[in-house]
């Protein structure tokens, strides 16, 4: 499998090269030359397969010969060694809980897979690898955990000052060692712009070996397909589900759409956004009007210029039918909070703000399409969001992984949204 740049100006590369590069030199995103189709044999005994086996078979075509089957299977097994339950909330709506991993968020999957690939690919490299990542909430903690104390790898995390929750901040700022957290005076789009600028800086690349751990990196993006298959293993209906994905940077839903093109049954994808509604507006009008991001309760989705949507456009070009299988809606903070209260009161289920956006969008779609059923992605544990207790009075049960964080000191470094400041820090990491 080779990968091309969505800007069409960089050379085609292998999975290994795409992982190590992070982003093409022309500042596009890597995309596979072909989208594989899962065989009849894959589906024949699908319900009996282990999570590791499903992950291995789904991702193998994208890897080619860059990893041995033995190594790849081991990476897959370590990536998905926790639960992904599909929990029924109402008769027609289920929640795919993706918060049972190390940092209580769906991004544990991509971060764990990528960190293990990068560790393997870096064995023969003499220079230190620096991983740079921008986060609007959960990515930073997942990447920090995935790469913590890995020899030969330094991680630099950019996060917007005052715009992530307390638990999210603790997860990415309390580790130390090879993890450096930069608290940027700005928003997520500023952080993402700084990371992209660094990755495209040819002068910098002569001094440091730099790659990305955002979902712009194929090794972070592609494994997010796995849990859509785990959900379908637990799907009890004899018809395809409606899948609703809380969406900010659009890497998660893009992975689901990719899985669908490969053969995963799905009747429709709904991208549920917050007030940052660039993509819902684009799908309705055909005009992409980038705006400043707006701070919301669902802070991890506060993205005004979602990088991964260009990959969805690539899929649409290769499979025109997918255009009809996707829609996007915007949900206000007022409705988000109301949904959290109603779901807790009626069903005794604690939603985080992102899950609430997904639940509401799916519920409204099903109300207009009787007889259909679906599930939404509950992307992070409610304890990671300060607003949950304020809105409904509880986080639910406090996970053990969180309890010890509050006693640890914050080790972040404050910087302005100034590229030269970031560049100086990166050069010092060599």
Residue 107 a catalytic site member = yes
CA pair distance 365, 354, nearest whole angstrom: 17
Whose CA is closest to 255, among 321, 306, 308? 308
Asked if residue 281 lies in contact with residue 287, where contact means CB atoms within 8 angstroms, the answer is yes
Can you list the positions of beta strands (E) in 93-195? Answer: 93-97, 129-134, 153-160, 179-185
Catalytic residue among 51, 107, 163, 325: 107
Phi/psi at 212 (5° precision): -110, 145
CA pair distance 387, 320, nearest whole angstrom: 40
Q: What is the DSSP letter of 13?
A: B
**Mind giving me the DSSP string for 239-282?**
SPPEEEEE-SSSHHHHHHHHHHHHT---SEEEEEE-S--HHHHH
- Report the helix count and the strand count for the chain, using DSSP H and E: 19, 13
341: Cα separation from own chain's centroid: 26
69: tokens are 């089957």
Whose CA is closest to 93, among 424, 411, 363? 363
CA pair distance 303, 279, nearest whole angstrom: 10
Whose CA is closest to 172, among 29, 294, 300, 353? 300
96: tokens are 């795919």
Whose CA is closest to 27, among 6, 4, 1? 6
First to last CA, the chain: 32
Which H or E run contains 419?
helix 419-428
Q: 161 vs 127, 323, 372, 403, CA distance in Å?
A: 31, 37, 42, 23
Give the residue numbers marked as catalytic.
107
């Amino acid at each position: 499998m080779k990968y091309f740049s969505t800007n069409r100006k960089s050379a085609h590369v292998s999975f290994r090269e795409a992982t190590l590069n992070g982003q093409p030199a022309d500042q596009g995103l890597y995309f596979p030359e072909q989208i594989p189709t899962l065989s009849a044999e894959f589906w024949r005994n699908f319900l009996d397969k282990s999570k590791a086996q499903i992950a291995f078979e789904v991702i193998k075509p994208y890897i080619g010969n860059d990893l041995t089957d033995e190594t790849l299977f081991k990476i897959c097994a370590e990536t998905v060694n926790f639960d992904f339950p599909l929990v029924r909330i109402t008769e027609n709506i289920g929640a795919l809980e993706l918060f049972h991993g190390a940092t209580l968020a769906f991004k544990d999957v991509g971060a764990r897979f990528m960190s293990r690939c990068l560790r393997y690919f870096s064995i023969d490299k003499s220079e230190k690898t620096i991983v740079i990542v921008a986060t609007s909430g959960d990515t930073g903690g997942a990447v920090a955990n995935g790469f913590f104390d890995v020899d030969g790898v330094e991680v630099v995390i950019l996060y917007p000052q005052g715009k992530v929750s307390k638990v999210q901040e603790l997860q990415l700022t309390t580790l130390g060692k090879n993890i450096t957290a930069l608290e940027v005076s700005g928003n997520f789009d500023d952080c993402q712009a700084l990371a992209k600028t660094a990755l495209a800086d040819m002068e910098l690349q002569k001094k440091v070996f730099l790659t990305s751990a955002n979902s712009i990196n194929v090794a972070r993006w592609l494994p997010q397909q796995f849990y859509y298959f785990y959900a379908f293993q637990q799907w009890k209906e004899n018809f395809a589900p409606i899948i609703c994905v809380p969406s900010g940077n659009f890497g998660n839903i893009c992975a689901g759409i990719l899985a669908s093109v490969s053969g995963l049954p799905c009747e429709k994808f709904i991208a549920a956004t917050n007030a940052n509604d660039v993509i819902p507006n684009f799908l309705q009008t055909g005009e992409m009007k980038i705006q400043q991001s707006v701070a919301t309760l669902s802070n991890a989705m506060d993205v005004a210029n979602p990088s991964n949507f260009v990959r969805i456009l690539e899929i649409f070009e290769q499979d025109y039918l997918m255009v009809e299988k996707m829609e996007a809606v915007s949900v206000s903070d007022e409705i988000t909070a109301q949904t959290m209260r109603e779901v807790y009161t009626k069903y005794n289920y604690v939603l985080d703000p992102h899950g609430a956006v997904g639940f509401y969008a799916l519920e409204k779609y099903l109300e207009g399409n009787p007889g259909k059923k679906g599930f939404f992605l509950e992307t992070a544990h409610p304890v990671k969001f300060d607003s949950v207790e304020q809105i409904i009075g509880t986080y639910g049960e406090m996970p053990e992984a969180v309890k010890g964080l509050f006693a640890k000191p914050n080790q972040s470094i404050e910087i302005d949204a100034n590229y030269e400041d970031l560049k100086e820090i990166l050069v010092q990491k060599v």
